Homo-oligomer: A and B are copies of this chain.
Amino acid sequence: MSSPSTFIDALQERSREWIRVLSQPNPAYKPQTTVRAYTYDTVDVRGDNDLDWRSSSRSAEDKTPAWLLRLQRRSAITRTIIFVLSSEWSFLTVLGFLSAALFLTTEIAVDNILGGRLWILSALPNLSFLRLIVWTLYSLFFSIIARFCVEYISPFAAGSGIPEMKSILSGLKLKGYLSFDNLIAKIVGNVVAYCSDLSIGREGPYIMICGILANVLLKLDIFYRIRSDNSSKFQMLSAACAGGIATVFGSPVGGVLFSIEVTSTYYLIQNLTKSFLCAFCAAFFTSYIGNHGLLTPFVTHFDSKTFSNGKILSFIMLGVVCGVLGAFFVVAQDYVSKMRKKYFWLSKDRYKQVCIISIISSIFTYASFMPLHEGQFYTIRSMFSDTKLTEWERPSVYFNLIYFIIFKFFLTVVSIGLPVPCGLFVPVFVMGSAIGRLWGEVLSDLFPDMLITPGGFAVVGAAAMSAGTTRALSTCVIIFELTGQLVYMFPVLISVIVATAVGNLLSPSVYDKILESKGLPFLPPLGHRALRKSGRDVMNNSIHCVSRETTYKDLSLLLKRSSFQYFPVIDHPGNMLLIGEIDRSYLRKILDDRERDYLSQSGNRQRLVDVMNHYDKGLPASPDMGSDVTGSPMEEFFSTRALIELQRPHFDPSPFQLVDKTPLTKIHFMFSMLGITHVWCTHKAKLAGLITRKEFMKKCWELNEQRNATED
């Protein structure tokens, strides 16, 4: 059966082309001179509108799977069990459990890989140079595997994952990002990249991993109820982000808040319970399976005390320093990523980059005076300790800390843009703890009377630096949960707030900057240049309408010229009165039906083949051929009015619409609040244009860039 069906397919494909060649514009169709493409650089557009998620009215109507239906019919008890199992709560519990289990598994993998290296080193003769080479090669090997995962399993696994989740949660479908391939690439890639001594963290990729886990889990039959409700689906994704952070840090409350801050613009409070549940389950199971009581990796035991004015001032200064450094970090990593794009030799061979940076990192890690080879967590613990930094005293604590901060800064800036799965929170956190410790050591040497605990300053510095980079205030909650103490609540809060404020004055957050430089679709805040603009300035006025007058021939041309998912339905080409919008897929279907009808009539297929042969021979459309075709039954067959049914679900009689004079601020507000993908513009009730979310985003970026250009 396959060959005839492909033949028919081919025929249909060609018949369509053929019809298009013959088609003439007609008043109902109104093609305009400018036919713009709706694509946006790197992202697939077609599927975009699946995610008009907040208006659940048109969500895909998922049927109850057959086996579930059969089970449900058995008894009230099975029905109840299925109801409970298929609920959001059960989904989140399972998700939390899986996230915890997966994380613990990867932990074991990391331990084994790093343990393996130590074992090899211990087996080697006691030659530092040889050991350094083996150490470096070991790291190099794993960094190459990490790059390999990204190149051969899924290209979407590169980078942090947080900007991508922000984009996805803002209502856009990024194809491939939530696929199973990406899950594998992220998991394996992140483990090996983490083991390769690159200055990277695990929280960013793990947020993404949890997001994908949720997406994969949703494909199970049992969760059909969640799957069929787009809004619920998005809530699950958002909760998964919280679960991801909670797993990695063991901080359920901080995880929820951090995920909200870095992925949302507006947050639906109702969803908080779900995020909390997921985060709690993730952290709880991590603790329960891993057999630790509380997940406080960096437990501190500082005394509770009041803080003198001098100390408060020094905490504020630390906040300012961290804010400035955080902003500098954001700008520096953006500069590096621009350099990567600009210089061909950097952008072409990405293995080379990974290898070079891995080698430098390994040497730095191994051949330092400090015990950096014990890992980042060990460093954090040293910084947070309330004893002297004995391991860092050779040649001097100051020298070592400064050396560490500078090198860490440089390595992190170049590492987080590498095409491997890598987060940036932990390296920044380590850097911050070193900065805080340095500040504390300096102060305690300068003012021995102040009774300063440098470890406490390290805690404050870690929180402030993380906040200065990510602009997430929840870092303070995370640090409380990481250290298990609240005595530094006020210093942490004040420096976090100061660092965030100072950072915000100087640059956007690191995630927003990556989002921007990656060209991911995201609605930026409106600059003042946009204040005087209105919908008319941004709308696309080359729209293709459907009306009662539309023929099958028009439909065919319509589908070819515009790639947009919805078409406006107008009352009559004369009055251009918008009466609703219709799905692309439905129009495609009725056109296909019509073509099948035509081909099923005897003789028609032969006739079409003849015409096609004529064209295939490269002959120009001879006038007699043309006239023959134009007046043919085929022409007539496709020139009749299309039988378009204006009914739900493929027809929406109430799409969002605006007057074309609506100010841009109002449109921006609607897009960001309602999460809609497009809005129709009318002028005196006549359909005048279309504003899609993507074009609008592009326009916003353009306007912001113009502003920067004129200001510079």
Give A contacts to B, CB under 8 Å: 54-57, 89, 252-253, 257, 260-261, 264-270, 272-273, 276-277, 280, 283-284, 287, 291-294, 296, 304-307, 473, 476-477, 480-481, 484-487, 489-490, 493-494, 497, 500-501, 504, 534-535, 571, 577-579, 653-655, 657-659, 661-663, 665-666, 669-670, 673-674, 682, 684-685
Contacts and interface: CB of A to CB of B under 8 A. Distances in A.
A283 B492 CA distance: 13
B669 A658 contact: no
A578 B683 CA distance: 10
A269 B269 contact: no
Given A260-B269, A501-B89, A666-B654, A684 B571 contact: yes
Given A265-B268, A266-B269, A280 B659 contact: no
B294 A57 contact: no
Nearest to A675: B673
B287 A293 contact: no
Residue from the set A270, A292, A653, A685 with the largest chain B CB neighbour count within 10 Å: A685
Give the number of times this chain occurs in the complex, counting copies. Answer: 2
A88 to B, nearest CB: 11
A497 B273 contact: yes
A265 B271 CA distance: 10
28 contacts: A55-B666, A57-B663, A57-B665, A252-B489, A266-B268, A273-B473, A276-B473, A280-B490, A280-B493, A283-B490, A284-B494, A293-B306, A293-B307, A294-B486, A296-B486, A304-B484, A477-B477, A480-B486, A484-B486, A534-B654, A578-B685, A654-B662, A654-B663, A654-B666, A657-B657, A657-B659, A669-B674, A685-B685
Contacts of A535: 654
A476 to B, nearest CB: 7
Contacts of A480: 480, 486
Contacts of A571: 684
B260 A294 contact: no
B493 A56 contact: no
Nearest to A500: B273
Give me the 4 closest cross-chain CB pairs, A-B, nearest first: A685-B685, A293-B306, A654-B662, A654-B659
Most interface-central of A55, A292, A294, A500 (chain B CB within 10 A): A294
Nearest to A287: B490
B265 A267 contact: no
Given A269-B261, A497-B280, A253 B487 contact: no
Nearest to A480: B486
A490 B294 contact: yes
Contact of A270 (B265, B490, B663): B265
A526 to B, nearest CB: 11
A189 B500 CA distance: 39
A281 to B, nearest CB: 9
A286 to B, nearest CB: 11
A259 to B, nearest CB: 11
Contact of A577 (B261, B485, B684): B684
Contacts of A273: 473, 497, 500-501, 504
Contacts of A485: 486
B267 A269 contact: yes
A318 to B, nearest CB: 16
Contacts of A674: 669-670, 673-674
Contacts of A89: 501
A653 B658 CA distance: 11
Contacts of A257: 257
A487 B294 contact: yes
Given A54-B669, A673-B673, A272 B265 contact: no
A123 to B, nearest CB: 37
A456 to B, nearest CB: 13
